[in-house]
Amino acid sequence: MPERLAEMLLDLWTPLIILWITLPPCIYMAPMNQSQVLMSGSPLELNRLSEEQRILNRSKRGWVWNQMFVLEEFSGPEPILVGRLHTDLDPGSKKIKYILSGDGAGTIFQINDVTGDIHAIKRLDREEKAEYTLTAQAVDWETDKPLEPPSEFIIKVQDINDNAPEFLNGPYHATVPEMSILGTSVTNVTATDADDPVYGNSAKLVYSILEGQPYFSIEPETAIIKTALPNMDREAKEEYLVVIQAKDMGGHSGGLSGTTTLTVTLTDVNDNPPKFAQSLYHFSVPEDVVLGTAIGRVKANDQDIGENAQSSYDIIDGDGTALFEITSDAQAQDGIIRLRQPLDFETKKSYTLKVEAANVHIDPRFSSRGPFKDTATVKIVVEDSDEPPVFSSPTYLLEVHENAALNSVIGQVTARDPDITSSPIRFSIDRHTDLERQFNINADDGKITLATPLDRELSVWHNITIIATEISNPNLISRVPVAIKVLDVNDNAPEFASEYEAFLCENGKPGQVIQTVSAMDKDEPKNGHYFLYSLLPEMVNNPNFTIKKNEDNSLSILAKHNGFNRQKQEVYLLPIIISDSGNPPLSSTSTLTIRVCGCSSDGVVQSCNVEAYVLPIGLSMGALIAILACIILLLVIVVLFVTLRRHKNEPLIIKDDEDVRENIIRYDDEGGGEEDTEAFDIATLQNPDGINGFLPRKDIKPDLQFMPRQGLAPVPNGVDVDEFINVRLHEADNDPTAPPYDSIQIYGYEGRGSVAGSLSSLESTTSDSDQNFDYLSDWGPRFKRLGELYSVGESDKET
């Protein structure tokens, strides 16, 4: 406690001693005259002015100023004396009054108007305000008349060490890689001190570490934190807490201090190899597992984190390297063993693999720590499963000639049960692949036979699927595709490639090629088509035409002479025999039609009709067609005109000899309803012929003569319609010649015992409900729908 008190007294008196040493040269800056006002906190300066100097010097106003100083944070029992104002005009008779104005005058600083003493009446803080500017003046006590002009002076607040250092940005966080060398820079911190950095050592800071040694150190002046130990391991300790102190007064005793914390995190580097948790792994897998299925996982642990812990897995040895593969899971950091090829319990029951895990990202700085990899052994046991049958081949290709006999064997498929029990196999054809049921298969031995005739020209390939099923377990089935190729046989005779029609010019020359024809054959021989052409035996010596075989397998027809005349013969028919080169060869006879035509001098066909000779000379074919079109158009116009005229002249009244009782007359006029009074004219109901009561019937021929009777007089349009209609109805009821009247319709009677029976339903003794229409379904698909309709009708009636 005494030491702390001594430090406080030293801090308090140190600035006072400095002020006392430096104050005199600041006060005396110019010669002092008789009228000078002295500002000083020490009476020594008054003694320097002798009475002799006051008398000899002439009167001249002047100020000798310097700064006044006052300690901050001074809190004594009485106001602290800052300084004194005095003028040589004051003989001590108390006739002069001192006035103080400016910053803090009257509130912070107070002056004794008689003695000129300035006191600080409040506690001052340099950090709030470092200096004050005031104005001093001497006036007459009685008249307040200024004796001298006002002058300014400054009062400076002198600093003491009253503010501790502060870390404004703390607490701090920093990182440094693990395994760093000694002296690696981590970060730097900064503290601030509100005291005066110019005056004394109040703001001179020195940094030190209170907690965090021996791992870190700090530069005392720059506050740079460095590692104090080499090769710090993150895996041993990842985070460190460092307490840093900043102390003012240059770190000497009595200075104020502030602290902050720094959290240092070691970042990871790849300094640890992967390590398998166990040296031997055991897995079991059914033999029928699907390819690509995960069999098991192995994991190598790495104490590092992030990408430094990433490892790749490989199978480097073992008897199952071709059947298994291993992939790396980046999320879980483990290796996944998957099946790459099918397993067979009956062939091999277990496998041994050697798996390696190696770091992906290797830091060359730590390569001396050893290989960053590890190995482990994996044993895989294959479990037996009830497997489906296995075909001897994944696909089958069969060939059959298109003229193969029915039920002949095309080929055979074989399959076996791979299990030890060796269950018998049953074969069948997937009929979805053989909709026409062209093939059959023996269920026991798998022989495929032909069920229907084949035609290569219709379909060359047939693709079917064979199903093999275990008899002991029908749920286990296998499928195999079978492709059947139909081989060609020479079963189609050649024929013309198209319908040919040749044209022969009357002015043609002998040996001129009339037409070139080619043949086609639906068969496809291995060596290609080769056709032979010939004329019928009886037409070998044809006097008009001959044939010539071309190198491109075509045939040319030539004229033997000229002078053909279409008046004598317009058309010639030339039968040609076409034979192929098959075994046995097939042939057919095709007839070529040759028309004799009239041609121009350059051989262009103009007309092939006999009527062309009777056409007027000088008219071209186009002109004749135009004339013919005009004639047809005129005939059409005449027919339409006559038809319209006849239709216009037809009477609206039906003739007496026509019976229209069975005719249906349709009118498309629609009424407007009861409220539509303008939809009809009442005059329409008033037949002009019925004005005198005579209403002749024009649609029938009555048997009785109707005597005219006195009818009603015509009435205006405003007559009551109901009364008018009742009158007309009464007349119609009393007229025997007006329909409806009783009549008998006689139908032809076929007689009794007819095989067909009567077509009339008048004498039917049975109703529709008594009849059975099931026989309609037996008439074929065309009557199936009709039978369903009648069946639905009967069921509805029953319901």
Same domain, 587 and 521: yes
What distance in Å separates the CA atoms of residue 208 and residue 252, rounded to the nearest whole number? 13
Structure tokens at 661: 């009782």
Which pLDDT belongs to residue 527?
67
Output the domain CATH number for residue 233: 2.60.40.60
Cα–Cα distance for residue pair 42/40, rounded to 1 Å = 5
pLDDT tier for residue 721 given thresholds of 50, 70 and 90: confident
Q: Roughly how many angstroms between the first and final C-alpha of the chain, as a whole number?
A: 121
* Beta carbons of 118 and 85 less than 8 angstroms apart: yes
Q: Which domain holds residue 207?
A: 172-267
- CA dist., res. 573 & res. 650, Å (int): 57
Asked if residue 40 has pLDDT above 70, the reply is no
pLDDT tens by residue, 283-308: 999 988 899 999 999 999 988 888 88
Q: What is the pLDDT of residues 357-386, one digit of tens each?
A: 998 888 888 877 778 899 999 999 998 888
- Whether 153 and 86 map to the same domain: the answer is yes
Which of 434, 431, 429, 438 is closest to 407 using CA atoms? 438
Handedness of CA 788, 790, 791, 793 (dihedral sign): positive
- Tell me the backbone φ, ψ of residue 57, rounded to 5 degrees: -75, 145
* Distance between CA atoms of residues 562 and 328, nearest Å: 93
The answer as to whether 688 is a domain residue is no
Tell whether 325 is covered by a domain. yes
User: Is residue 497 scored above 90 in pLDDT?
Assistant: no
Q: From residue 374, how far is each of 74, 233, 359, 360, 364 by CA, in Å?
A: 76, 22, 9, 13, 18
Among 354, 383, 412, the domain boundary falls at 383
- Say what the pLDDT of residue 332 is: 83
Give the pLDDT confidence score for residue 47 in this predicted structure.
30
Q: Which two tokens stand for residue 122?
A: 């409040």
> How are beta strands 396-401 and 477-487 bridged, if at all?
parallel
Region 690-718 average pLDDT: 48
Q: Which two tokens stand for residue 37?
A: 């006002």
Amino acid letter for position 780: G
Residues 470 and 532 in one domain: no
Q: In the chain, how many domains are there? A: 5
793 or 581: whose pLDDT is higher?
Answer: 581
Does residue 785 sit within a domain?
A: no
pLDDT score of 618 more than 90: no
Query: Residue 425: inside a domain, yes or no?
Result: yes
Q: Do residues 553 and 515 both lie within one domain? A: yes
- Residue 658 in domain: no
Q: What percentage of the chain has pLDDT greater than the value 70?
A: 74
Lowest mean pLDDT among 90-99, 113-122, 282-291, 322-331: 90-99
pLDDT in tens, 231-265: 899 989 999 999 999 998 888 887 888 999 999 99
- Per-residue HEC secondary structure of 729-766 comes to HHHHHCCCCCCCCCCCCCCCCCCCCCCCCCCCCCCCCC
At residue 731, what is the residue type?
E
- Whether residue 476 sits in one domain with residue 534: no
* Lowest-pLDDT range of 364-368, 459-463, 531-535: 364-368
- Point out the domain boundary residue: 607, 626, 642: 607
Q: How far apart, in whole angstroms, are the C-alpha atoms of residue 479 and residue 202?
A: 98
- Range with the poorest average pLDDT among 30-39, 91-100, 571-580, 758-767: 30-39
Strands 587-599 and 501-505: parallel
Q: 46-95 pLDDT, tens per residue?
A: 333 333 333 344 444 444 455 787 777 777 777 888 888 877 776 666 68
Helical (H) or strand (E) element with 264:
strand 257-267
Residues 249 and 280 in one domain: no
Of 451, 448, 365, the C-alpha closest to 180 is 365
Nearest CA to 356 among 330, 372, 340, 376?
376
Question: Please, what is the average pLDDT of the chain?
Answer: 77
Cβ distance 191 to 232 under 8 Å? no
Q: Are residues 193 and 218 in the same domain?
A: yes
Residue 309 and residue 205 share a domain: no
**DSSP labels for 135-162?**
EEEEEETTT--BSS--EEEEEEEEP-S-
In the DSSP assignment, the letter for residue 699 is: S
pLDDT value of position 797: 52
Q: What is the mean pLDDT of residues 468-494?
A: 89
Lowest mean pLDDT among 21-35, 218-232, 282-296, 419-433: 21-35
Mean pLDDT computed over 742-762: 53
> Is the pLDDT score of 540 beyond 50?
yes
Last residue of a domain, one of 383, 400, 421: 383
In the structure encoding, which two tokens stand for residue 686, read together?
């008033």
Q: What is the CA radius of gyration of the chain?
A: 68
Residue 796 lies in a domain: no
Share of the chain above pLDDT 90, in %: 25
Q: Do 455 and 418 belong to one domain?
A: yes
pLDDT band of residue 602 (cuts 50, 70, 90) is: confident
- Asked, for residue 686, whether it belongs to a domain, the answer is no
472: alpha, beta or left, given left = phi > 0 and alpha = psi -120 to 50? alpha
**171 preceded by a cis bond (ω within 30 of 0):** yes
> Is residue 9 domain-resident?
no
Q: What pLDDT is recorded for position 323? A: 92
Residues 183 and 84 in one domain: no
Same domain for 394 and 379: no
555 and 600 belong to one structural domain? yes
Residues facing residue 397 across a β-bridge: 483
Report how far residue 671's alpha carbon sits from residue 694's, in angstroms, rounded to the nearest whole number.
Answer: 29
The whole-angstrom separation of Cα 709 and Cα 691 is 11
